[in-house]
Amino acid sequence: MLIEKDISELTIGHYVVKIIKQEGNFSLTAAGHIKSYAVVNHLKSKNVYRVLIDSSKTLKSQSKKSTIAPTKTLVINVESLKEAQEIFNESKNIQKKLFHDALSGSTLDLSPVIEVTNKSIDAIFNSPDSLACILNIREKDHYLLEHSVAVSVYITLFSRYLGLERNIIEQLSIGAFLHDIGKIKIPDEILNKPGKLTDDEFTIMKTHANHSIDIIKATPGISALSLEVATLHHEKLNGCGYPFQVKGDDISRYGRMISICDIFDALTATRVYKEGFSHGKSFAILRELANQEQLDRKLVDQFIKCVGIFPVGTLVQLESNKLALVKVRNDTDPLNPQVHSFYHVEQKHFLDKQEIDLSITTDRIVKGVRAEEFDLDMKQIIDMLLMEG
C-alpha cells in the first residue's frame, strides 16, 4: 500500500518510493529502503518534508521492540539548537532597540526586523522543532521582549503547518514581531503589576493596542498585512475584543491566527511573578475560548495539532517515575513521542541519559510537568542532555 509520510515519521525499514513535498529540487536516485537514520537526516538537510512509501515493502526489523532509539533519530541537535538560540537572542536585542525607539518617538527601522524574521523562517523550515524548543526553555525575566518574538515564531510555525506561501508568512511574522510595540507606552506599574488589574488599569492597558497601531502605521516599508495582524491580535469573533470590537467575518483568517498564538504564549510563558500553565491546560483554555466564540474553533484545533500535545523541549513524567525531555514528536501517535529520560522522581537523582521511543515500549507518559515542580533548572537540564553533542 502506498502511504504519504512526513519526513519526521520515517524510520529504518521504510521503503521510500518518491518525494511528495520539498523546498528545492532534490531527487532520489532510486526507490529504496531507509537503512540508517543518516539517510533521514540527509533528506531533512535537503528540505524534504513529505515522501511516499510502500508499506508492503517495509522491512520486518522495523517492528522489533526496542527501548532505546538511536541518537540520530533526533529531530533537533546541538547545531540547530545553537542556531535557534542565536536567532532568539538576536530577536530580543532587536526588540529592545525597537522599544527604545518607540519610547523616544523615533521612527522604527524595519530592516533588522525583516532580516531576523527571515532567519527565523528559514530555521523553522529547516528544523521546525528547534525554535519551538527554545520557546519552551527560555528564561523567565524578559517576558516583554520575548513575548512578541515568541508570537512571531508561533505564527510562523502555524503558517508553515497550514501550507501558506512564503511571502505571506514573512508578512505575518513581521506583524507578530511588532504587534505589542505599543506596550512601551504603558506605565510600568500597570504593565508589570503582579496581581489582577483594576477596571481603570485595564482600560489603560488596552490602549497599548492603539499605540501599536499608530507606531506600526508610521513605520516605513510596513505592509498592509503586517499592520492587519497587529491590529487584530486582541479582537474576538463575538465582538468582545479591542480596540475596535471587530467581530465575525470582519476578522480575517490571519487575525484569528495571531489571536490564538498571542493567547497561547501568554498562557504558557513563565514570568517572575507567575508560573506558566502546562500546554495541556493552555490547550483546554483555547478550546473553551473557542466554545465561547472568542476564537476560531477549527484554527484552534489545527494550532494544537501544529504545536503537538507534548511539544519538543517540554518535560514529561513517565509511569516508570522517570522525568524525560520530549525530543521528537510522533504525529501518527501524539501520546507517544520519543523522549530523553534523565531523572528519577522517587529517588530524586539524575540517571544515565537514555533515548526512549514510547511508541515501541510499555512505558507511558503520566503527565506533562515543569522543572520547577522538582526543584530542577530547565537550562541546566538542556545543557546536560546536549553535552553529548
Enumerate residues 6+ apart whose C-beta is below 8 A from 90: 116, 119
pLDDT classification of 244: cutoffs 50, 70, 90: very high
CATH number of the 78-307 domain = 1.10.3210.10
The pLDDT tens digits of the residues spanning 288-305 come to 999 999 999 999 999 999
pLDDT above 70 for 92? yes
Q: Is 82 helix (H, G, I), strand (E, B) or coil?
A: helix
What does the pLDDT read at residue 135? Answer: 82
Q: Distance (Å, rounded) from C-alpha 132 to C-alpha 310? A: 12
Q: Would you state the cell numbers that stand for residue 295, as one nine-digit string?
A: 476564537
Task: Evaluate if residue 222 carries a pLDDT over 50.
Answer: yes
Residue 386: half-sphere exposure toward Cβ, Cα within 13 Å: 18
Residues 252-287 pLDDT 10s:
999 999 999 999 999 998 776 778 888 889 999 999
Residue 199 pLDDT: 96
Longest dimension (CA), the chain: 68
Per domain, the residue ranges of the chain are 2-59, 78-307, 315-386
CB 142 within 8 A of CB 99: no
* Stretch 65-91: mean pLDDT: 63
Extract the C-alpha cell encoding 358: 514510547
